[in-house]
Structures are given as structure tokens and as C-alpha cells.
Amino acid sequence: MILPSLNITLIFTSYGPPGALNYGVFLISLAVYLTTVFANVTLMLVICLDTSLHKPMYIFLFNLAINGLIGSSAVLPKIMENLVDELKDILHTDCILQVFFINVYGTCAYAILTLMAYDRYVSICKPLQYHNIMTPAKIRLLLFIVYCVPICTLAVQVYLTSRLPVCRYTINKLFCDNLAVVNLSCVKNTWGDLYGICLVIAFVVLPLIFVILSYVQILFVSLKASVNARKKALKTCTPHLITFINFSLASLFSVIYNRFNFSLSKEVNVFMSIHFILIPPLLHPLIYGIRTKEISNSLKKILQRRILALGFNLKTEQMCNDALFISTK
């Protein structure tokens, strides 16, 4: 029977019953989630507190950390809840919201990584014009576009999906995605499919082409430069390349999972579904924290200042206690 989607409860069928395995996965998921939050918040605080990092590249990185928190928070808490609950369910409206935030996470991450590639291109290929091109006003405009365009276009997609009547009530996945929700309907979603293809071209294919062309230009310029300039360019671009390749592979795994999950084993399905949400938000701050000298140095300075301040406060308190003890004698 086809029903309107209001107040419908959907059941996830990919989870096993609560037991030792589920509890173990829950603890691992909790540890990964807490580490992800800690790493991203730490990176954001370092960039905020150190004024020397108030540059376009680190502003984009700050926004990438925010986006990672959105993606992991949209999925992992619900996964952890389902791991320990007897009934693995979700309201249709909550499922639609989860789809929206997951899609915002994916498209905005790709857009921010594209901005970071553009920043590296201008920095290496047009160094003398860098400050005239990457102005604060332009950075604000680019970030506004990066958030506003995906949110508005994805809101339309989610609206189209939410209007479909529901005639199935089980999702054979760990969390909701647009294709899974569309498959709950018995109605053909032709316009939604065409709109989804347009979104993939706009937010995945075109940014991928832009990033590749940017690095081709960077490669040509680096080959003509001195050895030291080449090393500096490689050092500057390596964290972004690692991050971009990692996220691209995660996106590829997600596409394979969404399209071919019925022909794969359950373990492979679980890995491919969770990799897109679990790995990039965890690795991005770690990659930049380890590979970027400015961030690691800033973190060391902040920790040293905090330790010195704590030591000074303890020493002052001890001196006050000693003086009070002497005066009472």
C-alpha cells in the first residue's frame, strides 16, 4: 500500500541483534567519533588563536573542519544508537534530514577542496598577484557560494525525494541516503534522477576537472622553477593532494556501495558505506596537523604557553601559601 510519508517509521535491516560484536563496534565508533571531534575542534582553535594562520588556505581548512563535524555528527550518533537498540528504526522525516546533511557534507567538502586547489594554483603560478586576487572580500564571496549553492540545490533534491509516496519500509543500509529513500517509493522518480545527475556533474565532475587542471598548471610551473622552489611547491601541495585523493576515494566507495551493494558481501558493504563518513573527517585534521609545519608549530606554541601559564599559576599559589604559613607562625 502506498502511503504519504508523514510520520512513517523506517527500519534498518543491516544491523545485527545487540550482542558482543555490536557493543565492540559501538565502542570503536564512539572512540573514532570523539577523536574526530577532538581533532577538528583542536585544528579550528589553533587557526582561531594564531593570527599568523589567518590566511586563505587556513580559513578554507577551518571550514573543512566544520564540514567534517557536520558529516560525522549527521551519521555516527544514529549508527551508535542503532548498534545497541533492539529496534533499529528512524522516522521518515529524520531520514530525509539525514540525507540532506550527508549530501551537504559531501558537496561542500568537494567545493572547499576545490577552493584550496585554486588557492595553491594562485600561490604558485601567480605569486606576485596572490594578495590582489585572494582578497578578504573574495574569500568571503567564495565561501558564501560554497555553502549557499549546494544547500539551496540539495534542498530542492531533498524536497523532490520527500514528495515521493512510500510503499516500502525497510532500508538495507546503516544510514539513510538519497537513493535508499527513493527506492522506498513505487513511483518512478524521473525528474529526481535527472536532477541528481546534474548535481553530480556540477559538484563532483566539474570540481574534479578543475583540481586536475590546477595541478597540471602547478606541475608545469614547478618544472620550470629551481630545485628549492620545486621542493617548496611539493611541500605546500602534498597535504591538499593527500586530502583530496582520500576524499575522492571515499566518494568512489560511496558510489559503488550505493549502486552495487546487493552484489557485495555484508562486510564490504559496511566498510564502503562508513568509509565516506568515518575516514575523511578523522584524517583531514591529522594530515594537516602532521604535514603542515605552520599548524604543528602553532599547536606547540599554544601548548607551551598554556603549560608555562599553568606552571606560573601553581608557583604563585605555592608562594602565597608559603607566605601565609610564615605570617601565621
Predicted local confidence at residue 260, as pLDDT: 61
The whole-angstrom separation of Cα 30 and Cα 22 is 12
**In angstroms, what CA-CA distances link 5 with 121, 177, 179, 186, 192?**
47, 16, 16, 13, 17
Q: How far apart are CA 89 and CA 313, in angstroms?
A: 52
pLDDT of residue 227: 79
Q: Which of 175, 141, 136 is nearest to 275 (CA)?
A: 175
| pLDDT in the model for residue 225 | 79
**Mean pLDDT of each 10-residue bin along the chain, 329 residues long:** 62 84 88 94 91 91 94 93 89 93 93 93 91 94 95 94 88 87 85 88 90 90 81 81 84 68 62 79 83 81 73 58 54
pLDDT at residue 275, rounded to an integer? 79
pLDDT of residue 1: 41
pLDDT at 254: 72
Half-sphere exposure of 16 (CA within 13 A, CB side): 12
User: Concatenated DSSP letters for 80-108?
Assistant: HHHHH-SS-EEEHHHHHHHHHHHHHHHHH
With 0.75 as the threshold, say if the pTM is over it.
yes
Distance CA 16, CA 39 (A): 30
User: For residue 89, what is its C-alpha cell?
Assistant: 528504526
